[in-house]
Amino acid sequence: MRSPIVSMVAVDPFGDRLHPGPGAAFVVLTAFLISFLAIRTSARMTRSVRWWPGGIETRGVHVHHLVWGIGLMLLSGFLAFAAPLQAPWWHLVAIGFGVGAGFTLDEFALWVHLDDVYWAERGRSSFDAVLCSLAFAALVVIGTRPFGLDEPLSLWGTIAVAGGVVGLAAVAFAKGRVLLGVIGLFMPIAALIGALRLARPGSPWALWRYDDVKQARSAARFDAARPLERLRRRAGDLVAGRPSEVQS
């Protein structure tokens, strides 16, 4: 008969958490969050502290950290497919992919606008992209089912529900309610709220469908002087730094 102590030692209490699946997603999410906070803090230090080492620049070419991030994601993704990895090696690959994603999405605005807008107002979209990615990954990690399908439906029922949820999320995205749209892919009520609420000024929905009256309502609703917008911007400034049109 085996000793209870031996049985306890033989069982890995973290085995289920660290197997590929939600466990791997948690490793990626943690590495992503830590790397984003670290690289954003370093960028803010470069901006305000003269002696802090910045990015690599040679012959007038500045190598942004998204370059290292893309390279790390490509390498980690290739190894994940090509190599029969066992623990702890696949943990390192998951960490590498998360770090690469953090570096890359921190400069999301640069590869969208194809311009160095890191500290410009348009650069705030990088923080928004990171926030949406964190929300999506967190919902995957905690096991939330896509489209709110807790119980299996028939094939056509699943297609109908998924199509309706994706449609509501698409409207939320078009209205500039991106975070609600992302959460709505897992919790349809959030997509419905985003689809029904007033579009943000400058969003595709507002440009396509709003007349001058609704444009004015949208601008007033999202005025930076309003308390909720002020709080949102202060939270963004606290984490990502205050934007400035003057590039560093």
For 190-237, the pLDDT digits (tens) are: 999 999 999 999 999 999 999 999 999 999 988 877 888 888 889 888
Residue 194 has a pLDDT of 96
Q: Tokens 């102590």 sit at which residue?
A: 5
DSSP state of 121: G
Q: What is the pTM of this model?
A: 0.82
φ/ψ (deg, to 5) at 63: -90, 105
pLDDT interval class at 116 (50, 70, 90):
confident
Residue 88 has a pLDDT of 81
Q: Which residues are paired to 57 by β-bridges?
A: 62
For 203-206, the CB contacts below 8 A with 24+ separation are 203/174, 203/175, 203/176, 204/174, 204/176, 205/171, 205/174, 205/175, 205/176, 206/175, 206/176
Cβ-contact 107, 126 below 8 angstroms = yes
pLDDT interval class at 248 (50, 70, 90):
very low
Mean pLDDT of 39-60: 82
Domain ranges of the chain: 1-143
